[in-house]
């Protein structure tokens, strides 16, 4: 079992940057497919990007070239570096881990507004 805690959200102006963190405990995150999702009110949670156990990454088209997922194995932490943020990136961002079972963090709010 793995416990996930997100941090790093906040208010940022359009064009700005934020880095989200997902600290894991209970299991080693490099053994899991790790993903970031986001959700806005009234909408389904949507995938932002994924890092495989081999550290390959995948991103949805809307964030490609602006968001980067990375992992610090020593710290057992995954990151989401977000650049050139847009108002439509405003959402609650969730960390997700999947192997046989799947696990979610509680989310961190990102608001992009001037």
Q: What is the DSSP string of 78-96?
A: EEEEE-S--GGG-EEEEEE
Confirm if 82 and 13 have CB atoms less than 8 A apart.
no
- Can you tell me which residue has the tokens 């799947």? 102
- Can you tell me which residue has the tokens 């156990």? 53
pLDDT digits (tens, 9 = 90+) for 34-93: 999 999 999 999 999 999 999 999 999 999 999 999 999 999 999 999 999 999 999 999
Give, as one character, the DSSP assignment of residue 43: S
pLDDT for the residue numbered 1: 86
Chain CA centroid to CA 103, Å: 13
pLDDT for the residue numbered 74: 94
Q: Is 95 exposed, middle or buried (0-12, 13-18, 19+ CB in 10 A)?
A: buried
């Amino acid at each position: 079992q793995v416990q996930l805690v997100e941090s790093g959200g906040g208010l940022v102006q359009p064009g700005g940057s934020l880095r989200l963190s997902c600290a894991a405990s209970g299991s080693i995150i490099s053994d899991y497919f790790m993903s970031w999702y986001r959700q806005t009110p009234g909408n389904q949670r949507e995938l932002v990007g994924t890092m495989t156990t081999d550290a390959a990454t995948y991103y949805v088209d809307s964030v490609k070239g602006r968001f980067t997922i990375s992992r610090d194995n020593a710290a057992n932490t995954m990151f989401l570096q977000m650049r050139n943020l847009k108002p439509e990136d405003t959402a609650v961002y969730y960390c997700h881990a999947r192997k046989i079972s799947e696990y979610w963090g509680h989310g961190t709010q990102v608001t992009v507004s001037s």
